[in-house]
Amino acid sequence: MNAAEQIRLQILWSRLIAIVEEQAQTLMRTAFSATVREAGDLSAGVFDTKGRMLAQAVTGTPGHVNAMAASVGFFLRKHPIDKLRNGDALVTNDPWEGTGHLNDFTVVTPAFLNGKLIALFAATSHIADVGGLGFGPDARQVFEEGLLVPISFLFQEGRLNATLMELLRANVRDPDAAEGDLYSLAACNDAGSRRLIETLNEFELESLDDVGAMIIANSRAAMLEEVRRTPFGRYRYSMRIDGYESPVDLVVALTIGENGVDVDFSGSSPVSAYGVNVPLTYTQAYASFGVRCVIGNAVPNNAGSLGVVRVTAPEGSILNAPRPCAVSARHAVGQMLPDVVLGALSKAIPDRTPAEGASCLYLPVLLGGRGVGGGEDFVVNPFFTGGAGARPGKDGLSCTAFPSGVRNTPVEINEASAPIVVWRKEYRTDSGGAGRLRGGLGQSLEFGHADGDAFAVSKMFDRIVHPARGRDGGGDGGKGAARLDDGTPMRGMGREIVPAGRRLIVETPGGGGSGDPAERDRAAVAQDVRAGFVSEDAARAIYRMADG
């Protein structure tokens, strides 16, 4: 390839990134659910005619993006390229053929140029409610968790599948939001298709085939080059987390070699009786993301680079849960996997890996109305984050959604969406693990019903018993907690009632520290005390500051 061709390819690549980012922004601007509109719990990407992801939007979560990269293959298995027509749009929320639980809907839309199918656009978003027991870990089988839509036509040659939409509306608590979000997914794919066609016409191209093949080949080669700069070997790590009915052990053996990285989760806990199980596609999504955080993180994330990282887990383990296991709260375990993978990588490249963090999002689902405590019916699913682990050369970030990348839901949005008052939202002093490099802080939140009525909370909280561990002499992060304002403790998992007149207090975990706390810069400790990140007592007792 000569210099002119290389420049042309780079321009096309930049244009593809712009196209999928516009696709994602269209989804956010038109979504009905606050989880998408405010928190960015979504993914968007463009695929070639073989179902291989070429480019993904910067906006989105690894769980959605990398699982969606695998899911398009399932769509094409049921609806081959030669059977698709202009105006078609396919949809599913099947956890094993999508992104891991029923709340995530994926829509795949073919793009046509001059009557020829040239690409596929796919997008995923989290819909707040899909019926059943609702978003939470209490179900025993997927059948209880809500409506499962197998891969189906949402639109067929431009005509809406009205029967499917009617079924969806009849089975969810907020039918307008669910219907609106499906239209939003279809709209964002259409936006991507239009921009791609404009681009191909501008560059006088009739297809993406040759360009796509070069993108995938270049990305694979660049990723392999990065892997080959990493010390070869087999590295092990394990981590215990709370789980639901019993603790969960996550065990990994990571092998780095000439042909890529193999991640094997043999030895991890078996499936749970509750909804914290993880379908394999979601395991692969977050495990590969953990590798990509420190190996090849500047290489484009597509089928070429993803193919260099191979992830397996034994069927029947909690990380490869077969049908019909309950999987609604799969994030509570799946989002821990980057910490496990990075723990293994710390033995190969310790200067590039962070300590353990809070990792899994705190996603309380608040429900009220008939059958709960009276008043208006509502369901709201705010997103809250804990502290990240200490980073190489830097403190951990506070209240940061690593590894998911979504944002905290603003207080004003939560209060506008439901009769809920957020009385308090603040950093948790001393929740960041002590160390030469401090872990990031968690946060404290206090919720109440605006009219003082009882309401239900479905909790999917981990690291209440098993905190994020420090590294190299650093302290553990602060444990999470859930309780009523009168001090009554609540479980980390499952649905419970907040009685009338009471408030719910949630504390998210902090990240682990790194290195001996006594070696922390004195000025940094003093600044932490002034900011309220570290108490004077902790400064004296843990950081050995004589004057606090």
* pLDDT tens digits along 53-66: 999 998 888 888 88
Same domain, 200 and 240: no
Examine the fold and report which residue of 175, 207, 239 is the final residue of a domain before the chain moves on: 207
Range of 424's domain? 354-548
Position 373 scores a pLDDT of 72
Q: Decide if 29 is inside a domain.
A: yes
pLDDT (tens digit per residue) in 261-319: 999 999 999 999 999 999 999 999 999 999 999 999 999 999 999 999 999 999 999 99
Same domain, 348 and 358: no
Same domain, 392 and 409: yes
Examine the fold and report which residue of 147, 172, 207 is the final residue of a domain before the chain moves on: 207
Q: How far apart are CA 526 and CA 533, in angstroms?
A: 10
Q: Decide if 213 is inside a domain.
A: no
pTM for the model: 0.94
Q: How far apart are CA 157 and CA 226, in angstroms?
A: 44
Partnered with residue 533 across adjacent β-strands are none
Same domain, 418 and 347: no
Same domain, 362 and 349: no
Examine the fold and report which residue of 337, 353, 369 is the final residue of a domain before the chain moves on: 353
The pairing of strands 152-156 and 89-92 is: antiparallel
Position 548 scores a pLDDT of 40
Tokens coding 506: 């949630």
Backbone angles phi, psi at 481, to 5 degrees: -160, 155
Same domain, 251 and 164: no
Same domain, 433 and 509: yes
Same domain, 98 and 130: yes
Number of H helices, E strands in the chain: 13, 19
Task: Give the CA radius of gyration of the chain.
Answer: 23
Residue in the block written with tokens 């710390």: 346
Residues 253 and 266 sit within 8 Å (Cβ to Cβ): yes
pLDDT (tens digit per residue) in 118-150: 999 999 999 888 999 989 999 999 999 999 999
Q: For residue 333, give the amino acid letter.
A: V
Domain count, the chain: 3
pLDDT (tens digit per residue) in 42-98: 899 999 999 999 999 988 888 888 888 889 999 999 999 999 999 999 999 999 999
Same domain, 388 and 343: no
